[in-house]
Structure 1
Amino acid sequence: MHVIILGGGVVGVTSAYYLARAGHRVTVIERQNGAGLETSFANAGQVSPGYSAPWAAPGIPVKAMKWLLMRHRPLVVWPSFEPRLYGWLARMLANCTEEAYRRNKGRMVRLAEYSRDVLRDLRAETGIAYDHRERGTLQLFRTAKQLDHVGDDTRVLDAYGVPYAVLDPAGCIAAEPALARVAGTFVGGLRLPGDETGDAHLFTQRLAAICESLGVVFHYGTSIAGLRGADDRIEGVVTADGAVLTADAYVAAMGSYTPALLRPFGIDLPVYPVKGYSLTLPVLDAEAAPVSTVMDETYKVAITRLGDRIRVGGTAELAGFSALLRAPRRETLARSVDDLFPAGGDLAQAQFWTGLRPMTPDGTPIVGATRLANLYTNTGHGTLGWTMACGSGRVLADLVSGREPDIATPDLAVARYVGRA
């Protein structure tokens, strides 16, 4: 079978790899001049099954109001007249219940745990290297109030069998020795030892090269104008220069741009771009830098060691498809890393970046078949695209191939939204 994948980020490339491994002829269409150059380019670097949870949760509406009033706020909402934003927000608020949170968390952990295992298998199969480490994640609490609420997180982790450890300051320093230099700025932490780190961009580029060795054809620098099709199937992809590329099956993996592509066919994907930012700093002193990932709970910022660099990622900004780099967002990232690892990296040489994370209102990506017989989606991973990429790609390849996936998948497809407000 010939399969065309629309999008060459980490999700599209992992889909290509597993489809090629399953024996299919695969073509990837990507508007950039290489793989992994948009949302996959400079994310926080975490592969975090233990941190997989929907943003929509009980108590979040109240917390969100407080975040919006902070100087270094983790959430920013720009005034907009865009109806899709408010429809998406309404759906997200509808998921802020105990029942919805448990359902959505279950889906996300199931896929994320599977994805980490699949990534480990891929690493063993290919020998791919991408500055990865298997040293866990440390969620750091600066206040006693944050530590007092750690039970809210651990109850969920217990329910899904995710290993963890609640640490006092000495335990945090044992996990991340450089924190000894700023002892007194935190009161404890929650460590998730099963999490990993790695450079998603480097992984995507190197996996794309492996895909090419398997016969996958990449059309870089090729923008997609639209899809051509009938009521029940897609008949071709129309590129910006007017060419029409055809295949037996199609996979839409264009992140935040996927909904507009499918809307003419009556497929409404509730995916909205949530803008994230990052800084990438060269390491100045390895002993003063993080060992793995530290999540600064106060600012919702992740600080990750990637080889000889430190990646600092965070902020959720609702600003449509704007790619503008805003100085206040940089200040928040810089404040967090300078507080916790002041001698670790060189802020003066930091590279500032922003990307659009495709977020669903229930936090779960949309992976699987659509009402069109030969069209599949693999999008909507939000902040967890790197965490869930390999598992999503493997599941997608199984579904296209007519095989039963290793995990339950019916509740991952777009059909879960049909008939819901």
Structure 2
Amino acid sequence: MRIAVIGGGVIGLTTAYALVRQGHQVELIEKRDQVALETSFANGGQLSYRYVSPLADAGVPLQALGWMFRGNDAPLRFRPKMSMQQWRWCARFLLACRRSTNRRNAAHLLRLALHSQQVLRNWREQDGLDDFAWRANGKLVIYRDRASLDKAAAGLNGDGNQQLFDADQCAAIEPALQPLADALQGGIYSPGDEVADCHLFCRRLLERLGRSPNFQLHGGQTVTALRSEQGRVCAVRLGPEELAVDHLVVAAGAASVALLRPLGIELPIYPLKGYSLTLPLRNHAGIPDTNVTDYDNKVVYARLGDNLRVAAMVDIGGWDASLDQGRIAMLQRLASEAFPAAGDYRSATQWAGLRPATPEGTPLLGATELDNLWLNVGHGSLGFTLACGSADLLCGLIGDQRPAVALDGLTLTS
């Protein structure tokens, strides 16, 4: 079938790759001249298959009220706008801030994440897909606050895939944390988690796709309209030209909202702005080899080859992806306090991006009311983690195959 995919980030590229593997003819449409230059460019890099708890949880609204008075060092910053879309999203977010809702959605995410890990393993082993700084190095979430640690520990299921550590055990599994040991209450270690460079991964996917006669990239092309007739999308309009399609997959991140609104499809997605630093390492001494998440500061650290990626913060306040130097300065300070031996964080490459998030934290996969229009959107901060599994599931749905895992809680109607 001739299938168009809108969006050249990690979600769109993995979708295109899965479809081409199944023999479909794929047209990938990306508004930038190159792929993966926005949300997929410099994200945290952690493939957190076991640590997938949504942002919406009991206690978060009260915490957020306290953070409002902290300025640039607040892990979450809310900037109200004269926007009904923002307020509708926030209202649904507040409704999702219950422990039972968080656990239910975390179970949906975990199911998808573990499938995604298996799909990436298959692509690496069967296709020889490599050279994107992938490592199986585990993840350690450290806690400075006892109440936060106790809350996280209560959610462990005892299957051994996540282990509760005290401060000394954290420093033993990751020696780079030794200087921080006195400030830690403990941590949760997930030995099966991984790390990779998302931008490099996207480039490798594009290289593989470029070798297939069934793939074409439409770079630097903006979708101006979707033309539908009799309950189906029949063409994608690219400026003055139209691209006829048998099926259409929308994987355009936060931009998917405006794209689908003219068709009467209102996506519950709002952009959560995040920041990162990429620091070339002078040496690896004192640098964490394990993925580290500083839970109370909401900062993640991942070594990607000879670089250290530091990512953090959530801004709920509009569609502007420009750098906020106050937020960047705060991230530089937190990173230099945690791992000062890495180098001069003031010289690190700075980045900000918009993570397309649903209020509940679960993505939207699968069918819409138009019978050949498909969604692969709303992955929030877990886009890289969930990308391969989401692509595989969507490819199966388009091919009318039974889903490899249950789609409960992962569709527009659930």
Once the two structures are TM-superposed, the CA of residue 19 in structure 1 deviates from its matched residue by 0.5
Show structure 1 runs of 5+ residues with no match.
417-421
- In the alignment, which residue of structure 1 is the partner of 2:53? 53
- Of 250, 253, 260, the residue aligned with 2:251 is 253
* Structure-2 separation of matches of 1:162 and 1:98: 22
Report the Cα distance in structure 2 between the residues aligned to 1:222 and 1:162, rounded to whole angstroms: 48
Cα offsets for 1:7-40 (capped at 9, x unmatched): 0100000000110111100010001111211100
The aligned amino acid for 1:93 is: L
Q: 1:195 aligns with which of 190, 193, 196?
A: 193
- Contact 1:256 1:356 (8 Å CA) reproduced: yes
Counterpart AA for 1:299: N
In the other structure, the counterpart of 2:150 is: 148
What TM-score comes out, normalization by structure 1 length?
A: 0.94
Partner SS for 2:341: coil
For 2:207, what is the secondary structure of its paired residue?
A: helix
| AA in 2 matched with 1:25 | Q
Deviation at 1:276, TM superposition (A): 0.6
Cα distance in 1 for partners of 2:406, 2:152 equals 29
Shift, 1:282, TM fit: 0.9
Contact kept in structure 1, 2:134 and 2:195, CA below 8 Å: yes
Secondary structure of 2:353's partner? strand
Aligned partners of 1:15 and 1:394 also within 8 Å? yes
The aligned counterpart of 1:419 is none
On the 8 A contact 2:355/2:381 being kept in 1, the answer is yes
Task: Identify the residue that residue 383 of structure 1 maps to in structure 2.
Answer: 381
Displacement of 1:400: 0.6
**Alignment check: 8 A CA contact 1:283 1:309 kept:** yes
Q: Which position in structure 1 is the counterpart of 2:66?
A: 66
2:133 is equivalent to residue 131 of structure 1: yes
**2:15 aligned partner:** 15
- Offset of 1:414 from its aligned partner? 0.9
2:286 and 2:241 mapped to 1: Cα distance?
53
AA at the equivalent of 1:10: V
Structure 1 match to 2:43:
43
Does 204-213 or 125-134 show the bigger shift?
A: 125-134
- Are the counterparts in 2 of residues 48 and 387 from structure 1 also a CA contact under 8 Å? yes
Shift of 1:350: 0.5
What SS does the aligned partner of 2:397 have?
helix
Residue 233 (structure 1) aligns with: 232
Q: The residue matched to 2:336 in structure 1 has which SS?
A: helix
Deviations 1:28-55 (A, max 9, x none): 0001111211100000001102111111
> More deviation in 275-284 or 69-78?
69-78
Percent identical among aligned pairs is: 40
Deviates more, 1:121-130 or 1:377-386: 121-130
Distance 2:296 2:101 in 1: 25
**1:137 Cα offset (Å):** 0.9
- Residues 105-149 of structure 1: per-residue CA shift (max 9 Å, x gap): 121111011111111111112222211111111111123343333
2:332–2:346 Cα contact (<8 Å) kept? no
- 2:207 is aligned with 1:180: no
SS in 2 for 1:343: helix
Aligned 8 A contact 1:249 1:374 in 2: yes
Q: CA RMSD in A?
A: 1.5
Q: Give deviations 1:187-225, integer Å, cap 9, x for gaps.
A: 321111111111001001111111122231111111111
Deviations, residues 220-260 of structure 1 (Å, cap 9, x unaligned): 11111121112511011111x31111110000000001011
CA positional deviation for 1:162 = 6.7
Aligned twin of 1:214: 212
Give the total of aligned pairs: 411
Q: State the TM-score, normalized to the length of structure 2.
A: 0.96
State the shift of 1:67 in Å: 2.4
